[in-house]
Amino acid sequence: MSDEIERNSAALIGALIEVYETLRLICTGLPIPITLPRQVTEFDGATTIQAVSRLVEIIEDQPIKEFEKAMIWGASLQWLSANKLISRYLNYSADAVSRMEIELLIQHAGDALITYLDGEEETDTP
C-alpha cells in the first residue's frame, strides 16, 4: 500500500471513529439509553457495525421527536454505508471516487448528528 493510500485510509478510519463516538455519546443520553460499545484500543468494525445496525432497528422506540429520530437513524445508516465502503476501498480499489464517496457519507452523518445536537440545545433553553 502506498504512503498516500495509507494516509487516506487512516484519515477515513479516524473520521469514521469520530462520528461513531459522537453517535455513541448521543445514544447514552437518550431517554432510554442505548449503549454502543466503546472503542478503547483498536477500531472493531464487526462489533460496531452490529451495534449501529441494531440502533437503526430500535431508534423508533425512543420517546423523542420524530425529527430527532430521523437525524440519528439517517446518521447511523450513512455511517454504516461509509464503513462498508471503507472495506471495499481498503481491499480492492483505493480509488479517488471511492474515497470521495466515503468522505461524503461521513460528512453527512456528522452533519446529521450536529443538527440533532443543535436541536437538542434549542429545546433545553427556556
The count of structural domains within the chain is 1
Task: Look up the CATH number of the domain holding residue 36.
Answer: 1.20.120
Q: Which residue has the higher pLDDT, 62 or 1?
A: 62
Q: Give the pLDDT score at 94.
A: 78
Q: What is the pLDDT of residues 83-126, one digit of tens each?
A: 999 888 888 777 888 899 999 999 999 999 999 999 876 655 43
Residue percentage of the chain with pLDDT more than 70: 91
Q: What is the largest CA-CA distance in the chain?
A: 54
Going by C-alpha positions, the residue among 114, 110, 75, 82 that lies closest to residue 98 is 82
Q: Give the pLDDT score at 92.
A: 79
- Cα pseudo-dihedral 45, 13, 95, 79, rounded to 10: 60
Q: Model pTM?
A: 0.87
The grid cell for 6 is: 495509507
Count other Cβ atoms within 10 Å, centred on residue 37: 12
For residue 97, give its domain range: 3-124
Scanning the chain, the segments in alpha helix (DSSP H) are 3-28, 45-58, 66-91, 96-124
